[in-house]
Chains A and B, each alone.
Chain A
């Protein structure tokens, strides 16, 4: 199993500002995934972050809005840039187990943009 420490757990931000979310994993992993969960909705994959290469973004998500860093095999950050109230969501990072099947999640960052 993997233990993921995600922070901050929640934040209230002013529109137009940016927030960086951090995820630290207790083991080395190849891929880290960033999801968004809008209020009352399911999880939508934002991007896949691999160490040493640019993140791969899903349709509807762009690097300018959600820049991702992956400096090593245990750490990643997601920045939500130039925030608007529509960005109010829970953001979750995730990794897979060593067999690339079961997913482990951080506790999520509940973002409110005012």
Chain B
């Protein structure tokens, strides 16, 4: 079954507002990553958080990880219309030779000008 489950499935906000997306997963992980996809094109890596980290920042992005709850959140602050896209979490399982990423269902974010 799918490792990551995002919620909400869709989120619509006004420009300037913050957007929060959540992701839950089921098994132990090495790291959790967030990706962005514009209009069914290729995915772009946004940020990675390791299993021993709790919070990470990159520009307007803030990611948290709670391994006890097997969940993560992605916060985009001061959103822009250009942030409109689908956002996916992806987990890499623990185990040295496990390089596969398992993707969640994604959140479709619409930022209205």
Do chains A and B interact in one complex?
Answer: yes
Q: Which of B20-69 contact A (CB under 8 A)?
A: 31, 33, 35, 40-45, 48
Bound together, the chains give a CA A57 to CA B103 distance in angstroms of 17
**Are A103 and B100 CB-contacts (below 8 A) given A42-B106, A43-B88?**
no
Bound together, the chains give a CA A47 to CA B63 distance in angstroms of 29
Taking beta carbons and an 8 Å cutoff, which residues of B are in contact with A? 2, 31, 33, 35, 40-45, 48, 88, 90, 92, 99-106
B100 in contact with A37 (CB, 8 Å):
no
Given contacts A45-B101, A90-B40, A101-B92, 16 further A-B contacts (CB under 8 A): A42-B104, A43-B88, A48-B99, A48-B100, A92-B42, A92-B43, A96-B99, A101-B31, A102-B48, A103-B90, A105-B42, A105-B44, A107-B41, A107-B42, A108-B40, A110-B40
A43 in contact with B41 (CB, 8 Å):
no
The residue in chain A whose Cβ has the minimal distance to the Cβ of B105 is A42
B45 in contact with A106 (CB, 8 Å):
no
Number of interface residues of A (CB under 8 A): 25
Q: Which of A1-54 contact B (CB under 8 A)?
A: 4, 6, 31, 33, 37, 41-45, 48
B48 to chain A, nearest CB (A): 6
A60 to chain B, nearest CB (A): 12
The residue in chain B whose Cβ has the minimal distance to the Cβ of A39 is B40
B33 in contact with A43 (CB, 8 Å):
no
Bound together, the chains give a CA A108 to CA B48 distance in angstroms of 22
Secondary structure class of chain A's binding surface, majority of residues: strand
A23 to chain B, nearest CB (A): 11
A92 to chain B, nearest CB (A): 6
B42 in contact with A103 (CB, 8 Å):
no
The residue in chain A whose Cβ has the minimal distance to the Cβ of B89 is A42
Bound together, the chains give a CA A94 to CA B106 distance in angstroms of 18
B31 to chain A, nearest CB (A): 7
What are the residues of chain B within 8 A of A44 when measuring CB–CB? 103
B24 to chain A, nearest CB (A): 14
Residue in contact with B100 in the complex, picked from A45, A92, A101, A110, CB distance below 8 Å: A45
A108 in contact with B42 (CB, 8 Å):
yes
Bound together, the chains give a CA A91 to CA B22 distance in angstroms of 26
